[in-house]
Amino acid sequence: MKPSSNKLGSAALKAAFVLSCASPGLAPALAQSIAGPVTYQLDPDHTFVTFEVLHFGTSTLRGRIGPVTGEVTVDRGAKTGDLRLRIPVATLDTGMRVLDARLREPDLLAAAEYPEAYFVATRFQFDAAGGVKEVRGEFTLRGVGQPLSLYAKSFGCRRDERLKREVCGGDFTGDLKRHDFGATFGEPFVSDDVHLVVQVEAIAPEAAGAR
Amino acid sequence: MKKISLIAALAALGFAAAAHAESATYAIEPSHTFATFEIGHFNTSTNRGRFNKTSGTVTLDKAAKTGSLDVTVDTSSLDTGTAAFTKHISSEEILNVAVNPTAHLVATKFTFNGDKVSEIDGNLTLNGKTNPVVLKAQNYNCYNSPMIKREVCGGDFDTTIVRSQYGVNYGLNYGFPDNVHLVIQVEAVKQ
């Protein structure tokens, strides 16, 4: 339902949807053992970080950051992986511009001084089916790096008929305490606990996708 | 004896009056009220879209444990983070925002768990079609806002709708899910 390029015209888009949808291509790509590491490029149309933080113990304030760019290398045989995300914090969007501006200020995201956050993970855990289960690494926000684990709530691979490539991705979540990154404004009325919800899809190179 | 029953009657009346005084109207606070939909994408990840503009009122009677609400979502305020996706969902193929610029939720049945709202039963009108929905509270609380010096009540609610019941059938035959998860943040200010 979501196109992979903003530049496509609507007619082309419609054609692309029909093509991509006519056969969803949910082949069990994970069962295939691709020898050696494969590097996937993140699909910016399907890769976003949303943070969730409880407001006055009442409701959950959300902000979406993205599109997130980067790449992920997975070696299914060796069960290793390497993920590099560049997270443009200045794109923060809560749906309220006034709130966005406040959250970008130096005592919170410090977006002017630190326009990007990073997540670099080199420790991957896989489930029995070969899907990514957990990625552990370092999250850098406001120039401060802290360990962070993201856990898969869902993970899958498919043959994308429109792209003619393999696409893998899922939904991941993680938790951090914002005081660890020096972003304490508004506590305790706005919680110190931040829940991260990460949508990610990544596209294999042509050779890998052709298998 | 007569005197006692009179006192009891007066006390009962007084209690009823106090209970009645608990009923209050709350106005939806748009900066902390957002509906987000979540729909699966090819069994891989979850696509999300947020509606940025919501308005309406809620009435709560904390003593009687009753409530009602009438909330309107501006469907043209959809924001997915990807312009082409937002445009496609807004088009006549999906939400047909030009013809149906609002979604409307009306509810008159609030269920309480202790002093907290736990469930809201209502009717959702989307794409011009109305179906019953049950919103379940994941969080609920009231607090006195130090900024506006008023009581604010709100929470997080969610429900799963079947989009074909609203005539939103795009992509069902390609394997896009019929179930759509709605995640709602809401806060409302006592008037």
CA–CA dist A66, B80 (Å, integer): 11
Q: Which CATH code is given to the segment(s) B24-190?
A: 2.40.128.110
Interface contact B44-A158, CB threshold 8 A: yes
- Residues in A closer than 8 angstroms to B189, CB to CB, are none
Q: How confident is the model at residue B74 (pLDDT cuts 50, 70, 90)?
A: very high
Token couple for B181: 């998860």
The whole-number pLDDT of residue B123 equals 98
Query: Does the pLDDT at position A35 exceed 90?
Result: no
Are B101 and B90 in contact, with CB atoms under 8 Å apart? no
A13 SS3 class: helix
- Average pLDDT over chain A reads 86
- Tell me the nearest-neighbour CA distance from B158 into chain A, angstroms: 12
In a domain, A148, yes or no: yes
| Model ipTM value | 0.86
Between A20 and B8, the more confident residue is B8
Which range (A91-95, B95-99, B173-177, B178-182) has the least confidence?
B173-177
Are A176 and A139 in contact, with CB atoms under 8 Å apart? yes
Interchain CB contact of A151 with B (< 8 Å): no
Q: How confident is the model at residue A99 (pLDDT cuts 50, 70, 90)?
A: very high
Q: Which one of A52, A59, A60, A187 would you mutate to disrupt binding with B, by most B Cβ within 10 Å of its Cβ? A: A59
The whole-number average pLDDT for the span A148-163 is: 94
Interface contact A24-B143, CB threshold 8 A: no
For position A191, which CATH number holds?
Answer: 2.40.128.110
Token couple for A68: 């997130």
Token couple for A115: 């326009």
Between A56 and B7, the more confident residue is A56
Are A192 and A178 in contact, with CB atoms under 8 Å apart? yes
- Residues in B closer than 8 angstroms to A60, CB to CB, are 139, 156, 185
The whole-number pLDDT of residue A4 equals 42
Q: Which one of B45, B157, B176, B185 would you mutate to disrupt binding with A, by most A Cβ within 10 Å of its Cβ? A: B45
The minimal CB distance from A58 to the residues B46, B82, B155 is found for B155
Are A205 and A178 in contact, with CB atoms under 8 Å apart? no
Domain carrying residue A168: 27-209
B187 sits in which H/E element: strand B179-190
Shortest CA distance to A166 belongs to which of B142, B129, B44, B138? B44
Give pTM, 2 decimals.
Answer: 0.85
Shortest CA distance to A71 belongs to which of A35, A36, A34, A44? A44
Q: What is the pLDDT of residues B9-64, one digit of tens each?
A: 544 444 444 445 579 999 999 999 999 999 999 999 999 999 999 999 999 999 99
Are B177 and B39 in contact, with CB atoms under 8 Å apart? yes
The whole-number average pLDDT for the span B83-92 is: 97
Peptide bond into B132 cis (omega under 30): no
Are B76 and B52 in contact, with CB atoms under 8 Å apart? no
Question: How far is residue B74 from each of residues A5, A82, B106, B161, measured CA to CA in Å?
Answer: 26, 42, 15, 18
Beta partners for residue A147, in sequence order: A138
In a domain, A197, yes or no: yes
Q: What is the pLDDT of residues B89-137, one digit of tens each?
A: 999 999 999 999 999 999 999 999 999 999 999 999 999 999 999 999 9
Interface contact A201-B85, CB threshold 8 A: no
In a domain, A2, yes or no: no
Q: How confident is the model at residue A206 (pLDDT cuts 50, 70, 90)?
A: confident
The whole-number pLDDT of residue A207 equals 65
In a domain, A9, yes or no: no
Strands B23-28 and B116-126: unpaired
In a domain, A140, yes or no: yes
Interface contact A60-B153, CB threshold 8 A: no
Q: Can you give the residue ranges of every domain in chain B? A: 24-190
Interface contact B187-A59, CB threshold 8 A: yes
The whole-number pLDDT of residue A6 equals 37
